[in-house]
Amino acid sequence: MEPESGANGTAVTEFILLGLVETPGLRPVVFALFLFAYLVTVGGNLSILAAILVEPKLHTPMYFFLGNLSVLDIGCITVTVPSMLGRLLSHKRTVPYAACLSQLFFFHQLAGVDCFLLTAMAYDRFLAICRPLTYSTRMSQTVQRILVAVSWACAFSNALTHTVAISTLNFCGPNVINHFYCDLPQLFQLSCSSTQLNELLLFGLGVLMAGAPVILIVTSYIHVAAAVLRIRSSEGRKKAFSTCGSHLTVVGIFYGTGVFSYMRLGSVEASDKDKGIGILNTVISPMLNPLIYSLRNPDVQGALRRVLMGK
């Protein structure tokens, strides 16, 4: 996919990603930190996946969704961090136009699935706590697979729409992106043509992709909270809230950083803040998820111990 020529007959064929630091002395430190974060994230999420596979107690819908979430976390950090590490090593900051759009597509694809998967997990908690008698039929393996397949299909439509829409824009002037990966707000700022339709698309699809899931998650948890408060034993309440607490923490981090990233369009001077939010979105959140889900969960901890000790 090559860009169209601008009004002056020239077209941008590559972008320059400034990355996180411009001081050469700091590059080895950034490289070491991000390589460590990448290895920890991939290792942590693979451990969660292995624990779910080997522990029969974890063969439940909630852990089926958590396993899928671990795959997405590995995908999200792999789309952005290895290419950044490669640029730090090679001291080459240019990214071809097609590679930039590909990164944008895969990032939005994976983040979109994340949105819907977190909603499916909230629906699972709602059924488990509020409708326990019909839970096994309403959340059968077929239903779980349908929910995951629909999540991928909706996210694909969203990512493809944004990628096709941005490929219609002309890039004929500046090509420097003050970020460490290609994303929509930064590309909008570089376009020679009007981005009004693209920004409307981002807002409209953002409401669908994030707004609708948030409403469903909040509604599910209002019902869950009401049901848990009716449980007489404090032990029962504690157990119900512990499984929900981990999920709510992940939802808070994911949606909090997402809203900050995309609801401040047109703010050029905020590019350094964008980098910070980008790190939260693509590195910190996937790295914390395994920790959040295993900290207060004895079943996951036991399975992880068995995986790590080779039993």
Cβ(90)–Cβ(153) below 8 Å: no
pLDDT of 2 reads: 53
CA 37, 43, 49, 51 torsion-angle sign? negative
> Could you give phi then psi for residue 59, rounded to 5 degrees?
-85, 65
> Which residue bears the tokens 């409401």?
207
d(CA 275, CA 303) in angstroms, rounded, equals 36
Q: Which helix (H) or strand (E) holds 129?
A: helix 97-130
pTM beyond cutoff 0.95: no
pLDDT of 99 reads: 95
Say what angle helices 285-295 and 234-262 make with each other, to 10 degrees.
180
DSSP reduced 3-state for 17: strand
Please name which of 17, 11, 192, 37 lies closest in space to residue 94, comparing C-alpha atoms: 17
pLDDT of 81 reads: 95
DSSP reduced 3-state for 190: helix
Per-residue pLDDT of the chain (311 residues; tens, 9 = 90+): 555 544 443 478 899 998 888 787 888 999 999 999 999 999 999 999 998 998 888 899 999 999 999 999 999 999 999 999 999 998 888 999 999 999 999 999 999 999 999 999 999 999 998 999 999 999 999 999 999 999 999 999 999 999 999 999 999 878 998 888 998 888 998 999 898 999 999 889 988 888 899 999 999 999 998 988 888 787 777 777 777 888 888 888 888 877 776 665 555 555 667 787 788 888 988 998 888 888 667 788 888 888 778 76
Neighbours of 163 (CB within 10 A): 18
pLDDT of 10 reads: 47
pLDDT of 282 reads: 87
pLDDT of 311 reads: 61
Cβ(119)–Cβ(43) below 8 Å: no
